[in-house]
Amino acid sequence: MYHILTDRQTDRQTDRQTDRQTERNYTLDCFKGILMILVVIRHVLQYSVLDEGGILTNLIWAIQMPGFMLVSGYFVARPSNKIGKAIEKSCERYLLPFLSWWILICVLLLGRCDRNIITGLNTLFHNVDGGLWFLWVVFALSVLAAFVNRIISSNEKKFKKIVLSFITCCVYFGVLLIVVVLYRDVSMFGIKYILYYSVFYGFGFILRWTENVWKPYWQNLKNHVVFISFIIFLAIIFNYDLYHCEDGLLSIMLRCITGFAGNLVLYNTVERFQEILSKIKFPWIGKYTLEIYATHMLVNNLFTVSNKNIFWSTEGFVNFTVSLICTCVFTVIIISVFKSIPLANFLMYGKRDEK
């Protein structure tokens, strides 16, 4: 038992040393910081004004979660020969906070589902968007990524790696489709979200693994592609309600196109103004996206009772502004308290104190 514990501690220390030695991508930190701010703004709009911000919500919604999925897929792509260890990390970072916030806060503290944990879990997995669904989706996709990373890191020939990775993905999504058929519900276990956001997560994953292939050509194409993406993004945003439309084939395609186009434009903008953004702490915000995402959901609906006006009215704008300020203040306070308590930091944010 001593040797097992020692090995685990050594592995974690090695991981921390590797992380410290790895140069941070401050552009991506800035990018995540902006995405997180957009998420908070949209959720406050959702609860504080009648029209949810109108075109502003349409614009933010098109970018926010696809952007986070792209980044999550990009960061998870790395050489790895330990599937079990990778899945264990994902359980700590994503699954644990996903369950902790629902059980400890929503069920036991706030009294949902009559404070019955079993009923609460049954409710959650029938409708994951009632909880922190983003964490669940990232966890589910990171399990698949662990297997694919292992295949790509092997000494097999390139063609064989591609075939094995493709088969692994087919088996994974095949199992999800079987669950959909059995339960006759695409929302069960959040499968609807897993299937949709796997497009962005997978793209980010492939982007990281193939950097050596596309990067030499990107500089010559970047300005043209970004300009075209900007035109496409604006054309769809101002002519199609992506947030409220039905989940038909056309709307899903438009959402995907807008998600990719919008995030490319946003990332290019961040890249151009990274130095300025870094001075106003966007990279710092980007380092705490999980904490902010999980915590702000608890306090972003404080002014729902005053939700009686549209965003562009004086009363609506004031209600939104006050709600946003209060959400930010309470989020910072709660995060500070939880981060100061090792057990709370681990349960609510999946983070261990570094020694």
CA distances to 33, 144, 178, 206, 283 from 293, rounded to whole Å, are 11, 23, 31, 25, 15
| pLDDT tens, position by position, 116-171 | 899 989 988 888 888 899 999 999 999 999 999 999 988 788 889 899 999 999 99
Query: What is the distance between the alpha carbons of residues 206 and 200, in angstroms, rounded to a whole number?
Result: 10
Query: What is the distance between the alpha carbons of residues 105 and 127, in angstroms, rounded to a whole number?
Result: 17
CA 264 to chain centre: 17
Quote the pLDDT of residue 64.
92
Checking if the pLDDT of 21 tops 60, the result is no
Q: Give the list of residues 6+ apart from residue 38 with CB closer than 8 angstroms, or none.
A: 60, 63, 64
Query: What is the distance between the alpha carbons of residues 301 and 331, in angstroms, rounded to a whole number?
Result: 12
Query: What is the distance between the alpha carbons of residues 19 and 351, in angstroms, rounded to a whole number?
Result: 14
DSSP code of residue 92: I
Query: What is the distance between the alpha carbons of residues 44 and 64, in angstroms, rounded to a whole number?
Result: 14
> Residue 153 corresponds to which tokens in the numbers above?
């890191």
Quote the pLDDT of residue 244.
82
Mean pLDDT of 340-352: 91
Quote the pLDDT of residue 18.
42
pLDDT band of residue 305 (cuts 50, 70, 90) is: low
pLDDT band of residue 4 (cuts 50, 70, 90) is: very low
Query: What is the percentage of the chain residues whose pLDDT exceeds 90?
Result: 49
Quote the pLDDT of residue 31.
93
| pLDDT tens, position by position, 70-123 | 999 999 988 888 888 999 999 999 999 999 999 998 889 888 888 889 998 998
CA distances to 47, 80, 235, 315, 335 from 57, rounded to whole Å, are 12, 39, 16, 18, 26
Q: Mapping DSSP to helix (H, G, I), strand (E, B) and coil, where does residue 221 land?
A: helix
Query: What is the distance between the alpha carbons of residues 208 and 315, in angstroms, rounded to a whole number?
Result: 46
pLDDT band of residue 63 (cuts 50, 70, 90) is: very high
Q: Mapping DSSP to helix (H, G, I), strand (E, B) and coil, where does residue 280 land?
A: coil
Nearest to 334 by CA among 350, 320, 345, 346: 345
